[in-house]
Structure 1
Amino acid sequence: MHASTKRLTASTPRTPRVLKWRVVDIVVASVIGVASGVIFWAWGLAWSPLSALLAFTPGLEGLLAGGWLFAGVLGGLIIRKPGAAVYTEVVAAVVSMLIGTQWGFSTLIWGIIEGLGAEIVLALFLYANWRLGVALLAGAGAGVAVGLLDTTFTSYAALDVGYKAVYIVSAVVSGTVLAGLLSWLAVRGLARTGALSRFAAGREASRVGQTGQNPSGQNPSGQHPSGQDPSGQDGPGESALRQTETPSQTTR
């Protein structure tokens, strides 16, 4: 009889999503928040000179808003648990407030609302979709939040509708790019280094790296995993081997 060869296909089982926070989640989210808070504080120092450069179009300074929005999106993409976006954004706001900002206690209120802007988007996707599009939407959601806050509860509220419209649109664009796109790229970069090995984002990157196959199903050498040419023809040397087989090897 023919000797049959069985191929074992290794498949990585999908682990169920756990939405309960772990200690490592709290620690890493806190670190992200603290580091982001320092950046928030520095961004606040740069606000006045940078906004002066954008004064040629009223409301265009909204493009700077994304510098205060990335913490929530970044934390949400890494932790992937309910409340992560709000938590990291609030921690960042508190840290920048404690260091000292020109906006004082209102920084905390803004942090809560901005974090909610990103959190709501992640919740709409049931904390199950972490693709680029969702990251961009989360950044845009935070941009909408800060745009509405600034044009309603600050001195911008007294300005004309055109100014407010430009400001809100600019804030949304800034949130999409600075908070959404850059945070998504940062997570991918960190995952490749192995720094996120204890998180789903890091494990996903590890699984992709271990496959070693391109989308066509071929390995890097270009040979089909079964040992045959993708067209179904015998591989090199197999045809000659078949011709040299004795009848006792090919009959029952």
Structure 2
Amino acid sequence: MTRSSTNETTTAVEPAVGSRLRWRVIDVVVASVLAVASGLVFVLWNIASNPISAPLGAVVPGLQAVVGGGWLFAGVLTALVVRKPGAALFGELVAAVVSALVGNQWGVLTLESGLVQGLGAELVFALFLYRRWNLPMALLAGAASGLMLAVNDLILWYPGSSTAFSWIYIVAAVVSGAALAGLLSWLAVRGLAATGALNRFAAGREARARSGGARTSAADAAAAR
């Protein structure tokens, strides 16, 4: 291959990569809708989580962090749909802004928490160059967001906690993040894609491909019989 042909190949590939990572207008719109809707869910969770977390924390101090995943799904969900750099951070932060504007017991620190938690998920997707969007990635992103939540909470709300409390809090937050933010977000995206609502996104195209493959396999099996 000559140098000129190599340059032509490189030039041809670079726009494709840039296009994959570049935000479109529809990406901004859908990410905003998802983030605002998630923020409203956060508002409900602000109220509903306390009757769950308080008894858990009383029985096993630190276990109250198991409800943390209910505030972490916005970043993972937005990233799994939009699949662009910054989507996880955008989703979690905008949802936190909505929660703070409606009103909660944490006030302006809600924004700081949203930033930190969104950054945890964002770093996971960035680590894999925004190319992996499967279930293991969703679980890992949710777990990382949970870890960031735990560290942030221990610094802000539980300074000087015992080692046992800190470890229980961290483990509970990580598991909650993986399950509530990771698994449930992945299932939600699969469900949305199956309805055709995500046809303009890669998640929707993948769903159509899976559906087409399943139909082909079923037809082949019928023909074999």
TM-score under structure 2 length normalisation: 0.88
Find the partner of 2:97 among 94, 97, 104. Answer: 94
Match of 2:26 in 1: 24
Match of 1:157 in 2: 159
Q: 3-state DSSP class of the match of 1:58?
A: coil
Consecutive unaligned residues in structure 2, runs of 5 or more:
1-15
Match of 2:4 in 1: none
Match of 1:121 in 2: 124
Q: Please list, as runs of the form range in 1=range in 2, the aligned pairs for 1:36-185 lying within 5 A after superposition.
A: 36-54=38-56, 55-154=58-157, 156-185=158-187
Q: 3-state DSSP class of the match of 2:143?
A: helix
Consecutive unaligned residues in structure 1, runs of 5 or more:
1-15, 224-228, 230-252
Larger Rg: 1
TM-score under structure 1 length normalisation: 0.79
Paired AA for residue 204 in structure 1: E
CA–CA distance in structure 2, aligned partners of residues 61 and 104 of structure 1: 20
Match of 2:198 in 1: 196
Paired AA for residue 221 in structure 1: A
Q: 3-state DSSP class of the match of 2:49?
A: helix
Q: Following TM superposition, where does structure 1 have runs of at least 4 consecutive aligned residues deviating by more than 6 angstroms? A: none
Paired AA for residue 179 in structure 2: V
CA–CA distance in structure 2, aligned partners of residues 213 and 220 of structure 1: 9
CA–CA distance in structure 2, aligned partners of residues 187 and 48 of structure 1: 28
**What do residues 88-135 of structure 1 show as CA deviations (whole Å, max 9, x unaligned)?**
101100000000010000000100110000000011111111111011
Match of 1:34 in 2: 36
CA–CA distance in structure 2, aligned partners of residues 52 and 135 of structure 1: 28
**What do residues 186-220 of structure 1 show as CA deviations (whole Å, max 9, x unaligned)?**
00010000000010000111122123233xx9724
CA–CA distance in structure 2, aligned partners of residues 162 and 194 of structure 1: 47
CA–CA distance in structure 1, aligned partners of residues 137 and 128 of structure 2: 8
CA–CA distance in structure 1, aligned partners of residues 101 and 220 of structure 2: 54
Q: CA deviation at 1:68?
A: 0.3
Greater shift, 87-96 or 52-61, is seen at: 52-61
Paired AA for residue 94 in structure 2: V
1:221 matches 2:222 = yes
CA–CA distance in structure 2, aligned partners of residues 47 and 189 of structure 1: 25
CA–CA distance in structure 1, aligned partners of residues 182 and 221 of structure 2: 33
CA–CA distance in structure 2, aligned partners of residues 177 and 184 of structure 1: 10
Q: Please list, as runs of the form range in 1=range in 2, the aligned pairs for 1:2-13 lying within 5 A after superposition.
A: none
CA–CA distance in structure 2, aligned partners of residues 119 and 59 of structure 1: 26
Paired AA for residue 67 in structure 2: L
Paired AA for residue 20 in structure 1: R
Match of 1:244 in 2: none
